[in-house]
A and B are shown apart, each in its own frame.
Chain A
């Protein structure tokens, strides 16, 4: 069965530091992968997605993610974190044509 694992429940970084959030997936075929962000009291917003092609994808708000098939990973990165990036981040994979499977999320705290 398809699954998504986000091994880090909480991550704390200082403002201006770099960030990497880990995501591992289990999927038989070429996966459609996504990163979403959820701020408190808000719905989820799409940061970026990978379907095929270039394995390094750029998203909004300065985020990028790299698809590594050999490691079944799709880690999210940002070179310099801003205080406004504090939120919960979800990695997701599409199962079939319409069912998104989300990870349990990583809560990011940014220190001033």
Chain B
């Protein structure tokens, strides 16, 4: 079975631009979470979606938004990019939205903002 897939794997943007990152969860998984991992840090929670509804949001500005589609894939959008948005963006899926579900991570999308 395919794991969590993310695209693109690498991208370079300039300040002020917009970026869309995509994620396909493992088949049968209904929950998708997004994390930001800045170099030298652990992943920081951005969003979780379950059954196409936002269940939680981390401490990120409104420039960050996401959505989940009927097929459970997800997009993360970041507007008005800042240099500090340069990071590895990780998508993770879980089968359900219950507590303690194992997160299955994709390999991430590495964003560089110049």
Contacts and interface: CB of A to CB of B under 8 A. Distances in A.
A96 B56 contact: yes
B97 to A, nearest CB: 7
B28 interface: no
A45 B100 CA distance: 15
Interface in B34-49: 35, 40-45, 48
Interface size class on chain B is 20 to 34
A97 B98 contact: yes
A105 B42 contact: yes
Nearest to B45: A99
Interface string B77-114: 00000000000001010000111101111111000000
Size range of the interface on A?
A: 20 to 34
B16 interface: no
A98 B48 CA distance: 7
A110 B103 CA distance: 27
Given A98-B97, A99-B58, A43 B41 contact: no
B45 A104 contact: no
B42 A104 contact: yes
B103 A44 contact: yes
Interface string B21-64: 00000000001010100001111110010100001101000000
17 contacts: A32-B100, A41-B107, A43-B90, A43-B108, A44-B43, A44-B105, A46-B103, A94-B99, A98-B31, A98-B50, A98-B55, A98-B99, A100-B45, A102-B35, A103-B42, A105-B40, A105-B41
